[in-house]
Structure 1
Amino acid sequence: MDNHTRNTAPKSTVTINRKLIAAPTGNIYMAIEIIAKRAEQIQQELAEEYKEKSSGFHDLKEQLQETFENEELIDISRYYEKLPKPWALALQEWLEGKIAWKFEDDKQDKK
């Protein structure tokens, strides 16, 4: 996921013509399923990225007995809170044609 997608994805709900969403597959339900799977992947990527950035702070917190506010950790958390939601990022990638997908061969299952 690139920064361009993060910057251009809507941060709140927007109305999009369903024909634009369904156009690549010809089926709105299949398109939504693909977008949802990509949103799950994005959520996992963001969670891993957040863990990496905040892992040093958690080690420090375990070493200290006192609880205090760490401004850097708060800033990192605020950054991730302000990002568009994973579904919005996935939808933006879908509309820009950045998601690769393929149909599985149904003939193998119909033996």
Structure 2
Amino acid sequence: MDYKNSEAPLSTITYNREKVENPTGNLYEAIVIMAKRATQINGDLKKELIEKLDEFATHNDSLEEVFENKEQIEVSKFYERLPKPTAIAVEEWLANKTYHRTPDTK
């Protein structure tokens, strides 16, 4: 999924409790589902960031040559400006883009 084009807010906002709990009927169940989705998003973003930063990595054991790589700094700043995984998960939940099921029900 493309998290870079997310419409999630960059700062904390208040959500309507009824909209959050409406799909499941239980606020706590909805929060658990969103938390699990946020963990998935965080893992995806972390993996993507590490792959991009590995392109700039120097693989020598010398501590004498430590230098700043402007491209590496720009990539890091870009990922820092993205919305937090929890905000993305809440937006996906409110837009009914999150699939969830209860294993007990058939």
Normalised TM-score (structure 2): 0.90
**Partner-residue secondary structure (3-state), 2:46:** helix
Distance verdict in 2 for CA 1:45–1:29, change over 3 Å: same
**Contact 2:34–2:93 (Cα < 8 Å) also in 1:** yes
- Shift in Å, 1:4: 7.0
Stretches of structure 1 lacking an aligned partner (at least 5 in a row)? 107-111
* 1:109 alignment partner in structure 2: none
Counterparts in 2 of 1:1-111, with a 5 A limit?
A: 1-3=1-3, 6=6, 8-58=7-57, 60=58, 62-63=59-60, 65-105=64-104
Give, in whole Å, the separation in 1 of the partners of 2:5 and 2:92: 7
Give, in whole Å, the separation in 2 of the partners of 1:34 and 1:54: 30
RMSD: 1.6
Percent identical = 47
Stretches of structure 2 lacking an aligned partner (at least 5 in a row)? none
1:18-61: per-residue Cα shift (whole Å, max 9, x none)?
10000100100000000000000000000000011111212x2x
Moved over 4 A (4+): none
- Shift in Å, 1:2: 2.5
**Contact 2:4–2:82 (Cα < 8 Å) also in 1:** no
Give, in whole Å, the separation in 2 of the partners of 1:74 and 1:43: 20
Normalised TM-score (structure 1): 0.86
**Higher share of residues assigned helix:** 1
Give, in whole Å, the separation in 1 of the partners of 2:25 and 2:88: 21
